[in-house]
A and B are shown apart, each in its own frame.
Chain A
Amino acid sequence: MFNFCEKAVEIANKYKVDFGDIRIIKERRQDLSVKNGEIGEFDNSSTLGFGIRILLNGAWGFASSDIINTKEIERATLLAIKIAKASSLLKEKKVTLAKESVYKDIWQTPFIIDPFDVSVEDKFDLLFKIDSVLRKKPEIKSSISSMSFTREHQYHMTTEGSLIEQILLHSGAGYTATAVLNNEVQIRSYPSTHGGHALSMGYELINSLELLENAERTRDEAIALLKAPQCPQGELDLIIGGNQLALQIHESVGHATELDRVLGYEESYAGSSFATTEKLGKFKYGSDIVNLVADATVPGGLATAGYDDDAVKAQRWDIVKNGILNGYMTNREFAHNIKENRSNGSNRADGYNNIPITRICNLSLMPGKYELDDLIKGVKNGVLMENNKSWSIDQKRLNFQFGCEIGWVIKNGKIKSMIKNPVYQGITPKFWNSCDGICNEKHWKLWGVSNCGKGQPSQRALMSHGNSPSRFRKVKIGIKS
C-alpha cells in the first residue's frame, strides 16, 4: 500500500505544500446480533479507501476516495490541493503545525484470540443462548444480544517522512432485556449499555465477560424494575461507577477539554466549552482527590495506539491534577494556543474518508482509597445508580442530566431498596467539586465508549474511561416533568 502513498506524497511535494499526508485504511468489521430469537444484525464488512490531507498557503484541503489506483490517488491529491486553495480565500492567519519527530514504525493492538478466526456459528450460538435466557419470562418483550469486532489496518505517510503502519483491533459484546407491563417499560443491560462493553482486545474479552452467567440476573432485574418505586427527589448523595461514571467523565471532562471545542472550532455543531484556556493551571475543576489522566498507551483502551492521525507518538498526560485543570486534548494545529510546542496526540479520524479532528483520548479517573462498603457506609441519605440510560449536556458542557437503568436507595450507610428511573442533574465544576470519595484500584476498571459523535461531516470515535465507584455529595436527584 505504501507505493500508492508515495504517489500522493510525490504530488504534494511537487506543489510545495506546507504539509501533506495520506492514510490508506483497510477495515474489516463484523456486527452480529440476535433480537427476540431471530438474527437482528449480520453485517460482515470489508472496506478499503484513502484520505489525503493538504496544508497549502496555511489552509487545509482534504479529499478521499474508495478507488485505489494511481490515477485516482492523483485525482484526489490534486482535488485536495484545489480545496486548500479555496480555503485560503478565507483565512486570517496561516495554519502552522507543532513539530514532531519523523517515525518509521509498525504498531499493533496486542491480542490472544483473533475474533475473525472464531466462527460466526460459535458467536451466534452464544448470542442465541443468551437470548433464550433473557426471553424465558413473559414480561420480557424485547431482547437484544450483540457482538462487534473491528480490525483497522492503517498505512500513513507524511510529506515530513513519517511512515507508520498500525493494526488496531477492537472487540465488544453485551445485551439488553426490555420488560413491558401496564404502561411501564424498563430495561437492564449487561455488562454496560449502548452496545455492550468494548476494549482493544481480541475474542478473549468476550470469553472473560461471563455473558451467559449474568443473563438470568439481568432479566430478573428488568422485571423487578417494573414494580420498583420511582427514584426519590431532592438533594441527595450519589454513588456512581461503571459505565455511568465513564460517561460522566466523557461528557463533562473529556469533551470540555478538547482544545478545538475550547477555541470555538466546534461551536456550530457540538458546541464549545466552559474550560477556556485562561483557566489552565488555575481552575478548580474538582475536589483535591479528583485526578483525571489522558493516556493513549493504557492497555485495552479503545483510543490506545502507537500514533495518532497527525503521526504523533502516543502519550500520557494530566487533564485534571489534584482537582486543578491541567491540560487539554490537542493536535498539531492547536497545541500552540496553550503555548505547547508539541501536540499530545489526540487527532483522530473516523476511517479513511474523514479528516482527523481533535478527539478525547482514553481519559480515566485515578483510583482513591476507599473500599466500596466504606463509601456506602458514609452515606446517610442517597442513591447508588448503575448503567447509563440517557444523557444530555449543554453546549458549554456545564448543565448535564443523566438517567440510569437502575438505582438503589442508601439509608444510614446501607443499601435498602431498588428504584426505577433514577436521574440526576448538575453543573460540571460544582459536581466534580462535590466528589469526596473514590474507591481504590481493586475496584478500578476500564469502560469503553464506542459511539462518540463529533464533527461535520459527523464522525464516530472510540475511547475508554477507567474509574472506580465514586461518591458525590448533595446532587439534584429525581427530576419531575
Chain B
Amino acid sequence: MTNHKKICAEIFKITKGTQTEVLIDSKESALTRFADNVISQNVSNTDTGISIRLVKNGKMSKVNFNQTDKVALKKAIQNAFYLLKNQKKNSGTLSLLKPVKNITEKKDLFFKATAEISPEFKALQIKKLAKKCKKSGQTCCGTLENGYNKTTIANNLGLSLSHKESYIKYSITVKDKDGFGWAEQSSNDIKFMNFDKANEIACKKAKLAKNPIAIKPGKYTVILEPAAVPEFLMFMNFYGFGGKFYLEGQSFISGKIGKKLLSDKISIYDNAIDGPSAGMPFDFEGFPRKKLALIEKGVVKNAVFDRKTALEAKVKNTGHGLPIPNTEGPLPLNTVISTGKTSIEEMIKQTPKGILITQFHYTNMLKPLSLEITGMTRNGTYLIENGKIKKAVKNLRFTESIVKALNNIVCVGDKQVTTSFWFFKTSAPALKIKDFNFSSSTEF
C-alpha cells in the first residue's frame, strides 16, 4: 500500500511558500467475469493516482501522475510550477481550505477480509451458480468483484484527511431460453453477502421471464423494483440537486426551494455519514459532509453546494465539492430515498393491471428541466393482472419525466437496496407509479 502521508510530506517540502493541495487515490481491485457458465475474464489491478494543485495570487495549476518515486514527484512539481507561472489570473480561484474540525468516520467501511478475497474463492463461488444453471438448463453470466480504495486529501495549510473503503459486488444475469433474470448483492463487508439468495432470485426470475408476450406501449401502472429506481436518482443527482445547475437555472428545482414538486410519499436525503449510502465523510475540498434533506415529503428543501457555489448563492457550503477544477460543480454522491411501508408482494397484490420491472437499461436524458428521460426495461419485465404476476412481457421503451413519475406515486417499498454506479452510491426502495409512459416496444 502506497504511503499517502509520506508522499504529501515530500510534496509539501518542495512546494513550501505556495499553497499546495494533494489528492491521492490508491486502489486494489479484482474482478472475475463469467458468461455462458464459464469464466471469461479474470483481472487484478494495483493503481495509485496523485494530483497536485498549486494556488498563488489567483492563479492555479494542476498536474496528475501515478509514479511515486522522488524523481517523479520532483518532475511533476516542476511541471506544476511551470504551468502556474504561465497562467493568467482566474477569477474563480479560491484560496485552499484550512482544516475543518469535527470530521469523523461514523461507520467503518473497510474490511480486510473483503479487500483480500482470492481469485480461487471467486471462481468456486461462481462455479456454484454455473452448476445450478447447468442442472436446470439455464446459463449464467455476470461479475464477482472485490477490492478497496483509499483517498487522501491534504494541503499545506494543515488539512489532512483520509478515507478507506472495501467492497464486494456480485452481479448475475441468468438466461432461460428467451427469458432473462437478474440479481445483485453488494456490501463493504463480505459477511453481509448472500450469494445463494442472489442465485435463487436470478434463476427464478429467468424461468418466469420465458415466452414473453408483446403488449401495446402506452400508460401503465408500474412497480419498479429497487434496482430500477437508482436510474431516477442518478439523473436527479446530476441534473437536479447540484448547485451549479441550480444557479444556472438548468435544474428542476431552480428557484423552487420550499415548493412541493413531488408526491408527499417521496423524501430524498444525501447522507455520506451514516445509513445505507454512507461513504467518504468529507468532500474533495476537505469540507465535512453531513446528512442533508433534498426533498422532504415532496417539498424541495436544498440544493447542494461547494465553497465556490455557496459564495455565489450566498448560502452555507454543504460539503459536496468535487475535485477542483471541474465543470459539473457540486453533486450529491450518497443519496437515499426513504422507505415507505409496502412490501413488493403487497404492491403486486393490490394491482389490478400493471407491469413489474426488474431493471432499466441505457437510460438517457431528454429534457433536463422536467427530467424527461428514455430507456429500456431489462432482465425480467412482467405483466400483473388481478394482483398476480401473469406472464413475462417483451421489453418496452419508456419516455417519461422523473418529476411527473414521482408525482404519480401510489406507494413506496419497505426495503432499500444500495447500488454503486459511476461515482454515485444510491439507496432506494421499490416504487409503485401510476400512468407511467411506454413509447415503444422491442422484439424480445
Query: What is A's interface to B at a CB cutoff of 8 Å?
Result: 33, 35, 37-49, 59-68, 76, 79-80, 82-84, 86-87, 89-92, 119-121, 124, 141-142, 144, 178, 180, 183-185, 263-269, 271, 274, 353-355, 357, 390-396, 398-399, 401, 403, 421, 423, 425, 427, 456-457, 476, 479-481
Contacts and interface: CB of A to CB of B under 8 A. Distances in A.
Given A92-B37, A264-B141, A394-B376, 14 more contacts: A33-B327, A38-B92, A42-B60, A42-B61, A42-B62, A66-B47, A92-B36, A267-B35, A268-B33, A268-B35, A268-B171, A355-B41, A392-B374, A394-B442
A425 B90 contact: no
Contact of A456 (B60, B83, B143, B369): B143
Given A391-B364, A394-B361, A476 B440 contact: yes
A119 B76 CA distance: 17
Contacts of A68: 67
Contacts of B87: 120-121, 124
Contacts of B376: 392-395, 399
Contacts of A120: 83, 86-87
A421 B325 contact: no
Contacts of B88: 121, 124
Contacts of A357: 41
B42 A86 contact: yes
A228 to B, nearest CB: 14
Contacts of B92: 38-39
B86 A121 contact: yes
Contacts of B130: 90
A419 to B, nearest CB: 14
Contacts of A265: 35-36, 40, 141
Interface stretch (B119-127, B154-162, B289-297): B119-127
Contacts, number: 257
Interface in B412-444: 437, 439-444
A329 B250 CA distance: 40
B114 interface: no
9 contacts: A37-B91, A38-B91, A64-B45, A268-B33, A268-B141, A392-B376, A401-B397, A456-B143, A481-B372
Interface of B: 29, 31-49, 51, 60-67, 76, 79, 83, 86-88, 90-93, 118-120, 122-124, 126-127, 130, 139, 141-143, 145, 171-173, 175, 248-250, 325-327, 361-369, 372, 374-376, 378, 395, 397, 399-401, 404, 437, 439-444
B38 A456 contact: no
Nearest to A38: B92
Nearest to A86: B119
A256 to B, nearest CB: 13
A204 B116 CA distance: 48
A481 B400 contact: yes
A62 B38 CA distance: 16
A427 B442 contact: yes
Given A423-B366, A457-B31, A79 B44 contact: yes
A48 B126 contact: no
Contacts of A142: 248, 250
B442 A46 contact: no
A83 B44 contact: yes
Could you say which of A64, A183, A394, A476 has the most chain B C-beta atoms within 10 Å of its C-beta? A394
A32 to B, nearest CB: 10
B410 to A, nearest CB: 19
B73 to A, nearest CB: 12
A372 to B, nearest CB: 28
Nearest to B44: A63
A229 to B, nearest CB: 15
B44 A62 contact: yes
A427 B441 CA distance: 10
Contacts of A396: 442-444
Nearest to B441: A399
Nearest to A403: B366
A235 to B, nearest CB: 13
Contacts of B39: 59-60, 86-87, 89-91
Contact of B366 (A40, A86, A390, A398): A390
Given A47-B65, A121-B86, A480-B399, A91 B44 contact: no
Given A46-B76, A86-B120, A185-B369, A40 B326 contact: yes
A3 B412 CA distance: 61
Contact of B123 (A62, A89, A457): A89
A398 B442 contact: yes
A91 B364 contact: no
B325 A40 contact: yes
The 8 A-B residue pairs whose C-beta atoms are closest, nearest first, are: A86-B119, A399-B442, A38-B92, A45-B64, A40-B327, A268-B141, A62-B43, A89-B123
B361 A390 contact: no
Contacts of A119: 86
Contact of A60 (B42, B63, B248, B444): B42
A226 to B, nearest CB: 12
B248 A271 contact: no
Nearest to A333: B40
A180 B366 contact: no
Given A40-B326, A61-B42, A264-B35, A392 B173 contact: no
A44 B399 contact: no
Given A45-B63, A90-B130, A91-B39, A180 B91 contact: no
B127 A390 contact: no
B327 A144 contact: yes
A180 B374 CA distance: 22
Contact of A457 (B34, B43, B139): B43
A355 B372 contact: no
Nearest to A251: B362
Contacts of B142: 268
Could you say which of B51, B327, B364 has the most chain A C-beta atoms within 10 Å of its C-beta? B327
A38 B366 contact: no
A54 to B, nearest CB: 10
Nearest to B141: A268
Nearest to B130: A90
Nearest to B68: A67
Could you say which of A42, A65, A481 has the most chain B C-beta atoms within 10 Å of its C-beta? A481
Contacts of A184: 369
Nearest to A393: B362
A358 to B, nearest CB: 11
Contacts of A65: 45-47
A481 B399 contact: yes
Given A90-B130, A421-B366, A423-B366, A48 B67 contact: yes
Contact of B43 (A42, A63, A271, A392): A63
Contacts of A49: 47, 66
A401 to B, nearest CB: 5
Contacts of B86: 119-121
Contact of A392 (B126, B141, B325, B375): B375
